[in-house]
Structure 1
Amino acid sequence: MSSYKVIYLCDKILKMSNKYVGGYEMKNSSFKKLFIILSIIVAVSGFSQGMLLPLISVIFERSGVSSSLNGLHATSLYIGVFLSSFFIEGLVRRSGFKYMILIGGAIVALSLLLFPVLKTLSIWFILRLLIGIGDNMLHFSTQTWLTHITPKEKLGRTISVYGFSFSAGFMLGPLLAKLVDVSETLPFILSAILSIITISLVLLIHNEFPSSNVRPISMINTLKNFGDVIKTSWIAFMFPLLYGLFEAGLHSNFPVYGLRNGLDVTSITLILPAFSLGAILFQVPIGMFSDLHGRKKVLTGLTLIGSVIFLLGDFLPTTPFIMMALFLTAGLFTGSFYGLGVSFMTDLTPRHNLPAGNLMIAMSFSVGSIIGPMLGGAIIEISNGTVFFTMVASFIFIVFILLLFHKTPTETAQS
């Protein structure tokens, strides 16, 4: 997706959502420029991630790497996300959002350029870990920036546009992976060039800093902030965890599952974007609906429906059309989990702890993304390629049960 198309889509969605987003009138050119640039950056980041997971899975499968090792290797990106979460808050409070985006984007672009040059399992593991660190710097900065400038009554629709941008890029990423049939090097180079061009856009906006915290910046206080956020908002972190689990699982394990069940690479690269397409179609409507009816009610319904949809996956014929329909439907009802999780966390978390809350979102996402490929790869190996989707359905259903028993502060006060 070109930058012009992303700008056009973001602009149209914001106008449809409301005249005001984040308390700023959309005629305010400085806010509009900030929002569009952040949306483009997130879209291209999603594009790179959507390309990288299936690309490396296909390369490894063709090289004879086992599905369990393939899945384990995919976790390195999310290990990078998890480990970097312990020091990013302090760096952002010192340097501001803008420079963290620049540093994160530079790490991602450089790592992508090194993949074709340094082709060994161990070095690729390190490069994927570095991409995880860079992506976390980038996403934490853009995400926290948005949650800081957006009032709660507009939060669902604003974050849904953020999610829309990521999903749009993530949907198109696997299509670039198809170029592996032309050259293994080409997808990495093209993705790196696009990342460099996009990250340069952040030079056009002014730097800003998070709200001040009562605690001084240190690792110990970061951990204390994490503890405070877990007490108030733990249920919200289940949704980025789920999203990470099935996003990484689908893009890392499904290519292996599909190849072992008669699908070819072309079919797989067309099936994978169907999930992101479904997420895009419902992302903004669901975000606006949650603003009106409450995050918990919406998420309770979506988790129940999502668990049923994924459960059907292992019982349906593995044909391109049926799998594409399954992925599209799953995307419609579960593709908003990450954005809704961010909004739910912001509803429950005091403003001064939003940076820590956003880091916990990233950590939850990374934990799910580590669990997904590892469990998925092991289950595919044990079942000889016959079971995969049931694992995803089970996790979603567990969160549905947790939601039924969880009480928000408003519900507790009423009772």
Structure 2
Amino acid sequence: MAENAVGWLKDDDGGVVGGPLIETGPTSRGLGAARALLVGMLFIQVGGGLQGVLLGVRTESEGFGLAVSGIVMASFFLGFLIGTRLAEHFLAAVGHIRVFAALASMASGVSILHLLWINPAAWALLRMLFGLCIAGVLVVVESWLNDMATNATRGRLLSMYMVSSMGGLTLGQLLLNGGDPAGFELFVISSVLISAALVPITLSATSAPPLTVPEPLSLRQLISLAPTGVVTAFCAGISHGALLGVGAVYAAYEGLPTSRIALFLVSATAGAIAFQWPVGSISDRVSRRAVIFAAAAAAAAIAGILPLVEPGSALSLVLVFCFGGATFPLYSLAIALTGDWVPLSQLNGASAALVRTAGVGSIIGPVVGGVVMSLTAPWTFFLVLVGAHAVVVAYTGWRIVAREGVPVNEQGECVPWSTRASAMAVNLLRRPPRSFSRNGGPGPGRAA
């Protein structure tokens, strides 16, 4: 007798002779490999977080201009969007470890090359290449974690993934205080950190898993099933792309010292870490659309108040913390809401489509933010954030009035998620909705 891949006990002829086995989680060797992957990703995120805030500051000191700076910083998200698709082809051709090593090495080199060609066109190209490399690296890590995950450990691995992802980004932003942004040291540190990610991955004794790509679902189909999820994911992408892309540019043009620029961005990501789980938990107990409406309204209100507060002051940092806590959970809520309406067989494809939708928004956010600031004043950066969340408020409010929602006891579970994750990571999501898993969907004529 033998156990097949999904845990059913079979006899030597292939017949099923028992029920599903209880999954006890990965072996100690598997846990060690998971830790190696997460440590490697932590180094990648720290190095990438440092490079993002560093380039935002340098575009101001190099005189690129606000509009051009927005385009340069948006190039990362364009590369990220392209890289998530290319990585799937690379993985099928040469395997996980080789793809990780090649892309991490390239990302490390790209970090240094910024020092050789200091002009907007070169930095936009390098930023796009860096985004492509980081996307490919994350696809490797995410698909590997998916292979290790069981029903018993999936939630734990997802939590560890989110801590490594958001925690690494936060640490990287804080490292801006570790050197002079006008010098070369911080670029070297970013490069070294990314190179260090190779050590735990390449020394891992675990063999690479097979590649599993989510079955695609067209955007048109997704809009027909869960339009609120699509709108929320797109606008969340605009907000997060603008904040992470040109937030440092805004702070630099406002004349904030390096320490305050780092705190400005760290306050937002710290708010995300603090509020992701509580907001998601609340959305499991009340109407999901009501929580999206409230979070978006809070984010819009806070963004509207921030221009009236002294930039870099203690009050502004508290408000940015609260803004991060309101805006970053929106993407997780969009995925959870979509899961409430989409048949289970199409959930992975729907989540992958939301990744691409948010990715497009992330490209638009920095460009629009940079152009608006260039045409008016730096403080109008917050008006872009107000506008993105106002759209969510208006659309969600209309859908609440116009369409009946999913009963609370039939909603799935909301889990924290990041707009920087790839389509490969959606398999780490816990399988939502109880009643829809049985029925195959919410039925014709109904949409979120």
TM-score normalized by structure 2? 0.72
Residue from 325, 329, 347 that aligns with 1:336: 329
For 1:3-402, list aligned pairs within 5 A. 25=24, 28-93=27-92, 97-146=96-145, 159-179=158-178, 181=180, 184-203=183-202, 204=204, 205-211=206-212, 232=225, 235-287=228-280, 296=289, 298-341=291-334, 357=350, 359-402=352-395
Give the distance between the partners of 1:227 and 1:93, measured in 2 at CA: 28
Count of matched residue positions in the alignment of Structure 1 and Structure 2: 385
Q: Of Structure 1 and Structure 2, which has the larger fraction of its residues in helix?
A: 1
Offset at residue 289 of structure 1 (A)? 5.1
Give the distance between the partners of 2:102 and 2:201, measured in 1 at CA: 11
Task: Note the alpha carbon deviations across 1:130-171, whole angstroms, 9 max, x for none.
Answer: 111112212234345556766789867754542332111111
Task: Note the alpha carbon deviations across 1:50-70, whole angstroms, 9 max, x for none.
Answer: 222221122121122211111
Offset at residue 74 of structure 1 (A)? 1.0
8 A contact 1:243–1:338 mirrored in 2: yes
8 A contact 2:43–2:196 mirrored in 1: no
Give the distance between the partners of 1:333 and 1:197, measured in 2 at CA: 34
- Name the SS for the 2:378 alignment partner: coil
Give the distance between the partners of 1:102 and 1:291, measured in 2 at CA: 40
Offset at residue 129 of structure 1 (A)? 0.8
Q: Which moved more, 1:143-152 or 1:85-94?
A: 143-152
Larger radius of gyration: 2
Provide closer, same or farther for how the CA distance between residues 357 and 212 of structure 1 changes in structure 2, counting only shifts above 3 A.
same
CA RMSD of aligned residues (A): 3.7
Offset at residue 352 of structure 1 (A)? 7.1
Task: Note the alpha carbon deviations across 1:329-353, whole angstroms, 9 max, x for none.
Answer: 1222323344455555566666776
8 A contact 2:264–2:312 mirrored in 1: no
For structure 1, list consecutive stretches of 5 or more residues without a partner in the other structure: 1-22, 215-221
Give the distance between the partners of 1:61 and 1:391, measured in 2 at CA: 20
Corresponding residue of 2:411: none
Give the distance between the partners of 2:329 and 2:269, measured in 1 at CA: 10
Task: Note the alpha carbon deviations across 1:26-62, whole angstroms, 9 max, x for none.
Answer: 6742443344333333333332332222211221211
- Name the SS for the 2:379 alignment partner: coil
- Counterpart amino acid of 2:207? H
8 A contact 2:144–2:208 mirrored in 1: no
Q: Which moved more, 1:374-383 or 1:348-357?
A: 348-357
Q: Which moved more, 1:325-334 or 1:171-180?
A: 171-180
8 A contact 1:163–1:339 mirrored in 2: no
Provide closer, same or farther for how the CA distance between residues 321 and 158 of structure 1 changes in structure 2, counting only shifts above 3 A.
same
Give the distance between the partners of 1:40 and 1:339, measured in 2 at CA: 23
Give the distance between the partners of 2:97 and 2:225, measured in 1 at CA: 29
Task: Note the alpha carbon deviations across 1:266-298, whole angstroms, 9 max, x for none.
Answer: 211222111111222233444555566686554
Give the distance between the partners of 1:413 and 1:158, measured in 2 at CA: 35
- Counterpart amino acid of 2:134? D
Q: Which moved more, 1:310-319 or 1:229-238?
A: 229-238
8 A contact 1:140–1:362 mirrored in 2: no
Provide closer, same or farther for how the CA distance between residues 397 and 140 of structure 1 changes in structure 2, counting only shifts above 3 A.
farther
8 A contact 1:155–1:291 mirrored in 2: no
Give the distance between the partners of 1:414 and 1:106, measured in 2 at CA: 50
Offset at residue 200 of structure 1 (A)? 3.2
Q: Which moved more, 1:133-142 or 1:148-157?
A: 148-157
TM-score normalized by structure 1? 0.77
Give the distance between the partners of 1:348 and 1:137, measured in 2 at CA: 30
